[in-house]
Every structure is written in C-alpha cells, then in structure tokens.
Structure 1
Amino acid sequence: MKFLTEIPIQQQSENLIDYQSEVLLLGSCFVENIGKKLDYFKFKNLQNPFGVLFQPKAIENLIDKAVHNHTYTEADLFYFNDIWQCYEAHSKLSALSKEAVLTRLNSSLNQTKQFLQTATHVVITLGTAWIYKHEATHTIVANCHKVPQKSFKKELLSVADIRDSLNHILGLIASVNPNVTVLFTVSPIRHTKDGFVENTRSKAHLISAIHQVLETKKGNTFYFPSYEIMMDELRDYRFYTADLVHPNQMAIDYIWEKFQTAWLAPTTSPIMKEIHGVQSGLQHKPFNESSEQHQKFLQNLEQRIHTIQKKLDRNLFNM
C-alpha cells in the first residue's frame, strides 16, 4: 500500500558529483539549502557569490558580466537607507562605503568567472518569472533593496523570454567551460507575496521554458524535479515551516536524499558517512573538557579527520 505519489527520478550514470567535482550553485534561496548539504559533507562548491537571485534575467546578467570581465564602477551604485547598494546584487554585498561595495562586487565577479572555468557542475535554481523594472533606468533589477514600489514596474516574463535567457546562459557557460554539466531546478518555495494564482503562473512559465530548452539541448543539460517532489510527494503542511511557504528541514532532507540518489556518485557514500560522524563529534558538548575520557575522544576525532583528509588529499576541517 502506498501513501504518496512518488516522482520518478532519473538515475544518472555519467557526470556524477564526487569529491573531485566542483559545483557552482546559483539562484533562489532553495539552492542554498542544497549548498548547505554540500558544505556539511565537504564537497567543493561555491554558492551564490552575488547572493540570492530569484529570476533568470538576474542570473543571466551575473554570468554575462563575469564571462566578459565586467568591472563595476560608482555609476552602478545608489545610496539608500544610509547604505551603498547595487540593484544587480543581493543586500549582502551592500556596505557603508562605495569602495567596499565595489570591492565586493568585482571580487564576486572574478570569483564567479574563475569557478565557472573549472566547475564540473552548475546548478541553477529558478524561483520566479516575475521581474521588476526600474522606471528611471528601464533596467531589470535583481533586488529592489526595499526601495518604494512606485520606482518599479512589475512584469511577468513570457515562456519565450525565459527560454531565450536560459539558452544565453548555457551559451555563456559553454564559452568558458564546454564540458560542464548544467542542472536546472525550480524552487519549491511559493512566492505568495505575488499572489497564489500569480505564483502558479510564474512557476508554470519557468517549468515550460526549462523543458523547451531541454528538448533542443543535447548532452550535459538536465532537470531535477525539486518543485514536483515538494508539491506531489510532500503534499502536506507538516513538511513546511511556520510560514506555510518554505520547506522545513524534514522536507529539505528528503529532497536532498533524492538528489543524492540521482546525482552523487556511489563512491561518495562511505566518505559522507565518515564525515557525518566527524561532524557529530565536533558538535559534541562535554561535561568536563579536561577529563581523560574527553581527551581520548578528541584524539580519536583528530585521527578520523586526518584519515579523511589524507584520503581526499585536502584540508576539510578547521580544528
């Protein structure tokens, strides 16, 4: 007897992620949930160097400027709420001085370009098809930075607009790294501020555009159904946080297990198990730090870390 509708997941046989892989993750905040898992298990990855980017045009802009060695200048900034900001980046790159913002922006662009050139996998998670155009400059922004709504015009990207944007993204990536595997997914987080019907239209446009791209692209471009898993397999509010919009930790863990089964090489499983044991040990809180028992525990933990690091030939833990 089954109690849920299970989404079929295509098991990959090639281009799997292992401990030699380098994974670039870009997009909505759901990509950071997967990124945290990769961090925990010590995979090499880079997450959202420009912060969370919800819509495809923002991701396209970042990759375009990174690939073409763009340099941000003072003209790209604006001052609001006593802080210098950039419409093309998340507020985590904002700062009290222009110099600090420009340093962060240009450093993030360089970091993105360098990682793109060596990445084995790029994971792009799309959150919404709704965009905001700055009325004064007629440009699409990645983040409104709480500037009053009247300064922007809200529009829904068409399926064709999104398809063209994704094709441009793939072309840009291929220009610096033709052998990379690109994995698209749609965030299961609902943008209820847009409205429930509007959110559904948005997700439908994203999914339709991605699959139009997949129908014409061969080889190293794939789709992972994180949105479908959340909507169909986890069709219950016990899998959501208190806001009833974001997946809770149980849901994130479930989707991660599906991702792991489909995309992580079988050889990673024993190492992940070892690393999980070390992570649990590092979080251990002793009753008496100076006790002989605890000192033996620390020595054993250090030896386990040394064994893992020797096996992977890199430093993983800061002791």
Structure 2
Amino acid sequence: MQFSTKVPISKSHHPIDYQSRLVSLGSCFAENIGAKFHHFKFQNSVNPFGIIFNPVSIEKLLSRDVNQQPFTNEDVFFHNDLWHCYEVHSALSHPDKEVFLKNLNQKVSDFQLQISKATHCLITYGTSWVYKLKTSNEVVANCHKVAQNQFDKEILSVTTIENSIQNTVGLIQKINPDCQIIFTVSPVRHLKDGFVENQRSKAHLITAIQQILNPNSSFLNYFPSYEILMDELRDYRFYTEDMLHPNPTAIDYIWERFASTHIADTCIPVMAEVDTIQKALAHRPFNPNTESHQKFLTNLNQKIIKLQEQFPQLQF
C-alpha cells in the first residue's frame, strides 16, 4: 500500500558532480540545502550577502555583482549602534562604517567571480511579500528593525516576479552562459503575513517560475521543495516546534529527493564515504589516548588521504 502521493521529479540532464561549482542563493531553506552540500564536501558558496527572501532583492544584488557596482556611503545607514544596508542581511552589519563598506565590496568582487565560474546556481525564493522604503520606494531585502512606519508592505504581482526572474537569468548568463539554474520555492510557511496571504505569496512565486520555464531550454530547472513538503510529507511531524519550518527529518528527505534527481549517480558512493568520514570526525571519545582510538584515527586518516587522491579539492 502507498500512504503518500509522491511528487514526480525528472532526472537532471546536467547533474551535479564533485567537479561542479555551486552557488546557492535565497531564503533560509537555501541555507539548509547549502549545509547538505557542505557536509558532503561539494564546492558550494551559500548566500554571501546573507538570507534574501524575495526575487527583486536577489535580482538587485546580482545586478550589482555582475556589473561590479560598489557599495558607497549612500547605500548604508546607522541604526541601533550598527551600520546597515537595505540590500543585505543584518548578519553582515558592522559597528565600523569603513570596515562594513570594505567587507561588502569585497563580497561583490568575490561573488562575481563565483558566479562566473559556477556550473550550477540554485535560487530559493521565500516570499512574494516585500517592504518598500517610503523615502525611495525601493524594495528592501531586510528592514533591520527600523520602525515599520518607514515602509509600505505589498505583494509582488506574478508579472513583476516573472520579469525579475528573467532579469536574474539574463544577469547570470551575461557572465556565465553555460550555468545551469535551478529554481525552487521554500517550504517555510510565512504565517506572519497571514494564512491566505502566505498561500497567495507561494502561488505567485510558483506561477512566475513556471511562466519562464521553457521545455526546450536545458539550462533552466525547477525543483519542487514546496510541493514535496505540502503534498508528499503533509504532516506536522515534519515541522519544527514553531510549525513553520521543516524539521531535520523533512530537510533530509527533501535533500534525498534532490540528490536522487540532480546529483550524478557516480557521486553516490563518494558521498557515502564522505558521510562516514564526517561522522567519524564528529565522534568524541571518552578516552582519546587509548591504543584503540589511535588506531581509529590512523584508519580515518588513511581513508581521507585515499579519497583526496581522487578528489584533491575535498578538505576535512
């Protein structure tokens, strides 16, 4: 008997392998998948400018990076003892303005290089709801706890999102026409916007992405993260205590579905070996000076050396 409806996912014609260079952008779910890539030692860069939820802000950052437009004094502001920028996440904020600008512009330079060398770019959209700064009417990526009366909240139309995604694709192709782009919609529920509003938001994102997918295009792909959690798992036991975020079991399952369809079959035994090494490295012995533990470390080191002979880029 079958107790769930399985979401059909086509095998990628350009799967990820250990020679691939990945860039993951977007919501906190991009961080979840990025952590999996990191665990299995793929070459992956995740959200250099922090978590970004909406398509317009992702497009804006890519435009700045691809066109090498540096951040200036006009792009930053001081609030609650820190310098912030409305284009990036609060995790990057800094008490020193000059250091903050230097860090941001170094990321612009580094990120442009990462995009130009990427074989795959994974973009996870979280929401269609955005906040616009009243003084400029610009969409912000993060409000940085500035008073809510300084912003107008609105939902992006399907047409606006579609145009933004097309611009994003064009920017990536401008410097890297061979890059595979994989879109997905975060399964995290944004219930602060409201129940109906969250569904509208996800629907706008999914509709806009589907509008730009071309059956004859081999470089644009869609992975159904949102659909897997909503339709395949479909139970609160797959959520964290806040009932909004997928829990580790759900993330593991979605990752398994992704790996089985978007990672080359030749990588599976390598991933298993990497996983074994990672778990061994995380092991904390009660008695580290015993002969048996020293033998364990020697065997582990030999496994690492053998794997690195095949894949020199793997670092443990």
TM-score by structure 1 length?
0.97
Give 1:150-189 correspondences, 5 Å limit.
Answer: 150-189=149-188
- Displacement of 1:272: 0.6
Question: 2:129 maps to which residue?
Answer: 130
- Displacement of 1:309: 1.0
Question: 2:238 maps to which residue?
Answer: 239
Letter in 2 for 1:63: L
Structure 1: distance between partners of 2:286 and 2:226: 44
Question: 1:5 maps to which residue?
Answer: 5
Secondary structure in structure 2 of the residue aligned to 1:267: helix
- Displacement of 1:261: 0.5
Unmatched runs of 5 consecutive residues or more in structure 2: none
Question: 1:111 maps to which residue?
Answer: 110
Contact 2:41 2:314 in 1 (8 A): no
- Displacement of 1:27: 0.4
CA RMSD of aligned residues (A): 1.0
- Displacement of 1:211: 0.3
- Displacement of 1:5: 0.9
Secondary structure in structure 2 of the residue aligned to 1:251: helix
- Displacement of 1:111: 1.5
Question: 1:42 maps to which residue?
Answer: 41
Segments ≥4 residues shifted beyond 4 Å = none
Question: 2:65 maps to which residue?
Answer: 66
Contact 2:119 2:178 in 1 (8 A): yes
Contact 2:182 2:221 in 1 (8 A): yes
Secondary structure in structure 1 of the residue aligned to 2:265: coil
Contact 2:23 2:121 in 1 (8 A): yes
Secondary structure in structure 1 of the residue aligned to 2:208: helix
Structure 2: distance between partners of 1:139 and 1:286: 54
- Displacement of 1:219: 2.1
- Displacement of 1:216: 7.7
> How many percent identity over aligned positions?
51
Structure 2: distance between partners of 1:136 and 1:292: 68
Question: 2:140 maps to which residue?
Answer: 141
Give 1:267-282 correspondences, 5 Å limit.
Answer: 267-282=266-281
- Displacement of 1:215: 3.6
Q: 1:217-271 CA deviation, whole Å, 9 max, x = no partner?
A: 7220010000000001111000000000000000000000000001000010111
- Displacement of 1:41: 0.3
TM-score by structure 2 length?
0.98
Question: 1:211 maps to which residue?
Answer: 210
Structure 1: distance between partners of 2:44 and 2:117: 11
Unmatched runs of 5 consecutive residues or more in structure 1: none
Structure 2: distance between partners of 1:234 and 1:314: 35
Contact 2:214 2:220 in 1 (8 A): no
Structure 1: distance between partners of 2:106 and 2:314: 24
Letter in 2 for 1:254: Y
Give 1:248-259 correspondences, 5 Å limit.
Answer: 248-259=247-258
Q: 1:76-103 CA deviation, whole Å, 9 max, x = no partner?
A: 1010011110000001110011012112
Structure 2: distance between partners of 1:215 and 1:181: 13
Structure 2: distance between partners of 1:315 and 1:199: 40
